[in-house]
Amino acid sequence: MRVELSVNGDPYRREIEPDATLLSLLRETLGLTGTKWGCETGDCGACTVLVDGEPVVSCLQLARQVDGTDVTTVEGLEVEGELGDLQAAFVRNGAAQCGFCTPGMLMSAEALLRRNEAPAEAEIREALSGNLCRCTGYSKIVDAVLEAAESRQAPVDASA
Ligand code: FES
Ligand code: FES
């Protein structure tokens, strides 16, 4: 069967198996390997992407169900080949350790910041509660999201 969708602003049309997941479509068919393949049971959050702006665990989403949608993956957070603000904040704060969980963390955090530009720490922790990281206490990750939120709220100098 055929699926047509937008990924990071680029249009795609592909033939897929009816039981193909969005995760396999992204990684294996489209070659977008930034999205990580973890538990495959919806528990770890490593495969999180945005579908029409909402965070979704792509291992449990059938590819045919995203026909006609707008998908954003971690590759889509880049700006002109450079790290996006949230990605850069993760680097500055040492929020990525082994890094395997990081793409999913970034996408959950991005979804939060799109709907809440000034989240409290508790709201960040709640938004990331579906993303399991096995090698940190989450503090640096929360710091990174807070820093990105503050930078997005910073007033733009209109005279610049
Ligand atoms: S791989 Fe999808 S939630 Fe773990
Ligand atoms: S940095 Fe998250 S599992 Fe290691």
Together in a domain, 29 and 61: yes
Residue 95 domain boundaries: 85-153
Do 139 and 103 have their domain in common? yes
Boundary-marking domain end, from 30, 49, 76: 76
Same domain, 45 and 98: no
Got the DSSP string for 25-69? IIIIIS--TTS----SSSSS-TTEEEETTEEEETTSSBGGGGTT-
Average pLDDT score, the chain? 95
Domain count, the chain: 2
For residue 118, the CA-to-ligand 2 centroid distance in Å is 25
Identify whether 121 is part of a domain: yes
- 79: its two tokens: 């700006």
User: What is the structure's pLDDT at 95?
Assistant: 94
The closest of 138, 79, 67, 69 to 109, measured between CA atoms, is 138
Model-level pTM? 0.94
Instruction: Assess if residue 159 is contained within a domain.
Output: no
The answer to whether residues 46 and 133 touch, using CB atoms and an 8 Å cutoff, is no
62 and 91 both lie in a single domain = no
**Percent of all residues in the chain with a pLDDT value above 70, rounded to a whole number:** 96
Ligand at shortest distance from the CA of 36: 1
Query: How far does residue 82's CA lie from ligand 1's centre (Å)?
Result: 27
Residue 157 has a pLDDT of 60
Q: What is the 68 CA–ligand 1 centroid distance (Å)?
A: 23
Q: 142 by DSSP, 3-state: which?
A: helix
Last residue of a domain, one of 47, 76, 105: 76
Is position 31 within any domain? yes
Q: Is the CB of 56 under 6 A from ligand 1?
A: no
Q: Check if 136 has its Cβ closer than 6 Å to any atom of ligand 2.
A: yes
69 with 93, same domain?
no
What pLDDT, in 10s, does the model give residues 24-36?
999 999 999 999 9
Residue 67 belongs to some domain of the structure? yes
Q: Which of 76, 102, 126 is the last residue of a domain?
A: 76
How many angstroms is it from 117 CA to the middle of ligand 2? 25
118-142 pLDDT, tens digit per residue, is 999 999 999 999 999 988 789 999 9
Domain co-membership, 72 together with 95: no
